[in-house]
Structure 1
Amino acid sequence: MLPSPLTTWVQEQLGTAVAAQRPVGGGCIHRAWALELADGRRLFAKTNDARHLPLLDAEADGLTALATAAAGDPVVPRPLHWGERGGQALLLLEWLPLARSPGGSWWALGASLARLHRRSLEQSDGRFGWHRDNVIGAGPQPNGWRLRWGAFFAEQRLGTQLAWAARSGRRLEGAEALLEQVPQWLEGHGAQPCLVHGDLWSGNAALLEDGRGALFDPAVYRGDREVDLAMARLFGGFPEAFFTGYAATWPLPEGHQRRVELYNLYHLLNHANLFGGSYWSQSQQSLQRLLRRPPLG
């Protein structure tokens, strides 16, 4: 059954009762629910222990920013309410009617992401980072502002993950050498501080029943747009049409393929710190490959 604090909370916030509810898949951190309201609306809810409220607060902040920049293209579910009630953390979102069979266009979703990235620059002040720290999965994601992308990625992304690993007794060979080179590697291709999804693996995007594409579960910040395209190739990856649609709308700069592994090392390290196992060997191997390559540009 649905936790009673959520039932009461929905009634108070929306002024209508929950007529039906069922558990649905919503990731490995929170419990997720499909809600049918007495007024006919359908909503999506996440619940967890109250101590996890900062995770849901960060998600709500990221979704709000992404939805504002997207302006419906692509679709991003807006958070309706979030908070703590009866010892539980609660987040209420717009419902996304996901397609049960292919009928939309991954090409169009890629094009939509390109438009979102480009449109988001209209509100940029030229810095990389975000107004608050948030999370990447269940891992901490610091977002201190930096004027230079290379410094931001070295310090706030790879540096924090490698320091986390070291505190756990996992010192990766070559880590210091890599961090020294990253700023120079990333200064030559004109990175701009786009609003990025930040956690764009295939489980955080979908096609809807009406054919449109949707993005959700972000870890937003202002960074090089290439980080979203790089992660979209990790953990199974998106259909190739997604990348074709993006490139047709806003082509990536020369050499972007060579930066994919560097950007995805961040996510491998995060998975290693969170889950351990073979992610440690994958991270070490990736790090060594990067150090053996000619300088990135």
Structure 2
Amino acid sequence: MLDEIIDEALKQAGESSTARNIQSVSGGSINESYYVEMDQNQYFVKYHATAPAHFFEAEAKGLENIRSTDSIDTPEVLAYQDKPGQSFLVMEWMSGESTQETQSLLGERIAKMHLSHAEYHGLDQQTFIGDLPQPNQLCREWVDYYRTFRLERQLELGRERHRIADKREEKLIHLIDNLEKYIPHDIAPSYLHGDLWSGNWLPGPKGTPYVIDPSFLYGDRHFDLAFTEMFGGFTQDFYNAYNEIYPISSDYEVLKPIYQLYYSLVHLNMFGESYGGLVDRILKRYA
């Protein structure tokens, strides 16, 4: 069955022959990922047996939006399909090694992406964070979008999964109700990656940085930056280079835990109580 799906993926990508070599590769915990070698070309194929509707479409459009900024490179999407049991995405195979300049280039190019601005915050279509559906809407104010479509969404999910209750729930509701105390009203809606951790960028040829697996939206650029600091993988060269192109706001240290809270809630709702302490430590700062 998998061979048939990969053959169909390659056919849609423009190949007429069968694969010479297919190898399973690491590609996160959500999808099965494969390196596929043909006579002339190499591909990266992702397969998800139980993908939600529009799952790979959202990823492909997110990469297209990032590519449209002419700032940071993304692998070219060659084909995708969202069908029950037969969902896949095909991209060009990307490989390379980091150089001394890679982190600086990554910082510069993420800053240039953030210098691309939209008229509204949010997005006009659903995306995903991991495999959690992320409802969206376009909003005039970032604080309104972040409250309703990010924090309140995770609050609802946490209640459903019995991971947010009692004091944790009270503190989260208190922060949600008081976001205006911390989030300014004059934020420009930048193009954002939306899931910018170290596993979602890689070095390509000559160490050129590429980003992958976005959960794209328009919003406060510090939302992207806050996630880069949660799990490491970004050096001081990255932040220095970013700051040279687009100086980080003096409000960032106040905003950073509030934005990291969203990603902490996502991990709590996806993976369980091992992330509960992280959520509680952030909430304690603002309760």
- TM-score past 0.5 threshold: yes
Select the residue among 133, 146, 153 that pairs with 2:126.
133
Encode CA deviations 1:56-75: one digit per residue, 9 max, x unaligned.
22111211111222x2x321
User: 1:55 touches 1:135 (CA, 8 Å); kept in 2?
Assistant: yes
Can you give the 5+ residue segments of structure 2 that lack an aligned partner in the other structure?
Answer: none
Helix, strand or coil for the counterpart of 2:79?
A: strand
User: 2:77 touches 2:91 (CA, 8 Å); kept in 1?
Assistant: yes
User: 1:111 touches 1:249 (CA, 8 Å); kept in 2?
Assistant: yes
Select the residue among 167, 170, 175 that pairs with 2:172.
175
Is 1:227 the equivalent of 2:201?
A: no
Is 1:28 the equivalent of 2:21?
A: no
User: 1:21 touches 1:35 (CA, 8 Å); kept in 2?
Assistant: yes
Residue correspondence of structure 1 range 17-56 to structure 2 within 5 A: 17=17, 18-38=19-39, 40-49=40-49, 51-52=51-52, 54-56=54-56
Deviation at 1:146, TM superposition (A): 1.1
For 2:129 and 2:151, the matched residues in 1 are separated by 13
Deviation at 1:85, TM superposition (A): 6.7
For 2:45 and 2:9, the matched residues in 1 are separated by 11
For 1:84 and 1:227, the matched residues in 2 are separated by 29
- In structure 1, the partner of 2:154 is 161
TM-score with structure 2 setting the length: 0.92
Helix, strand or coil for the counterpart of 1:132?
A: coil
For 1:237 and 1:15, the matched residues in 2 are separated by 36
User: 1:6 touches 1:85 (CA, 8 Å); kept in 2?
Assistant: no
- Say which is worse superposed, 26-35 or 175-184, in terms of deviation: 175-184
Give the partner amino acid of 1:115: K
User: 1:67 touches 1:77 (CA, 8 Å); kept in 2?
Assistant: no
Helix, strand or coil for the counterpart of 2:123?
A: coil
- In structure 2, the partner of 1:203 is 199
In structure 2, the CA distance between the partners of 1:6 and 1:84, relative to structure 1 (3 Å rule), is: farther
User: 1:103 touches 1:209 (CA, 8 Å); kept in 2?
Assistant: no
Select the residue among 252, 260, 278 that pairs with 2:274.
278
For 1:186 and 1:86, the matched residues in 2 are separated by 40
User: 1:21 touches 1:33 (CA, 8 Å); kept in 2?
Assistant: yes
Give the partner amino acid of 1:45: V
Give the partner amino acid of 2:32: R
User: 2:55 touches 2:82 (CA, 8 Å); kept in 1?
Assistant: no
Deviation at 1:98, TM superposition (A): 3.0
Deviation at 1:86, TM superposition (A): 8.8
Residue correspondence of structure 1 range 181-192 to structure 2 within 5 A: 181-187=178-184, 190-192=186-188
Helix, strand or coil for the counterpart of 1:278?
A: helix
Is 1:96 the equivalent of 2:94?
A: yes
Deviation at 1:23, TM superposition (A): 1.1
TM-score with structure 1 setting the length: 0.89
- Say which is worse superposed, 224-233 or 136-145, in terms of deviation: 136-145
For 1:147 and 1:154, the matched residues in 2 are separated by 13
For 1:211 and 1:235, the matched residues in 2 are separated by 22
In structure 2, the CA distance between the partners of 1:208 and 1:9, relative to structure 1 (3 Å rule), is: closer
Helix, strand or coil for the counterpart of 1:174?
A: helix
Deviation at 1:201, TM superposition (A): 0.6
- In structure 1, the partner of 2:65 is 65
- In structure 2, the partner of 1:80 is 78
Select the residue among 143, 149, 152 that pairs with 2:142.
149
For 1:94 and 1:82, the matched residues in 2 are separated by 12
- In structure 2, the partner of 1:193 is 189
